[in-house]
């Protein structure tokens, strides 16, 4: 089973682009069954994947919207261990 994720931030540039790069590194290095798209928060409206990955402050806002996707908030976009732990927790929950 493979999962589709959206990496998003308010503008869709800067921090989310850096996060996308780190996510792809972690996914590739650990052979996780996740593919990643990138966009702004406006991209969420048409997104039909199962995960939205963003910065922790944005994640709190999105959780309040009761979206159908699992929201994953990352505190430190440079911390591969945190990213891996949160992706593994999602995968364990989803299976």
pLDDT band at 10 (very low <50, low <70, confident <90, very high): confident
Residue 1: what pLDDT?
85
Q: How many residues does the chain have?
A: 95
Q: Where are the domains of the chain?
A: 3-94
Residue 12: what pLDDT?
61
Q: How far is CA 62 from CA 22, 31, 81, in A?
A: 21, 28, 23
Residue 36: what pLDDT?
96
Q: Which helix (H) or strand (E) holds 88?
A: helix 80-94
- How many angstroms from the chain centroid is the CA of residue 52? 4
Please give the CATH topology (third level) of the domain spanning 3-94.
Rossmann fold (3.40.50)
Residue of 95 and 93 predicted with greater confidence: 93
Residue 56, both tokens: 């922790």
pLDDT band at 35 (very low <50, low <70, confident <90, very high): very high
């Amino acid at each position: 089973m493979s999962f589709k994720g959206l990496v998003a931030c308010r503008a869709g540039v800067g921090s989310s682009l850096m996060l996308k790069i780190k996510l792809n590194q972690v996914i590739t290095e650990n052979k996780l069954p996740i593919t990643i798209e990138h966009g702004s928060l406006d991209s969420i409206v048409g997104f039909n994947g199962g995960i939205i990955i963003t910065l922790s402050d944005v994640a709190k806002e999105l959780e309040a919207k009761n979206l159908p996707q699992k929201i994953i908030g990352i505190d430190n976009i440079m911390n591969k261990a945190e990213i891996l732990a949160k992706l593994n927790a999602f995968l364990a929950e989803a299976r």
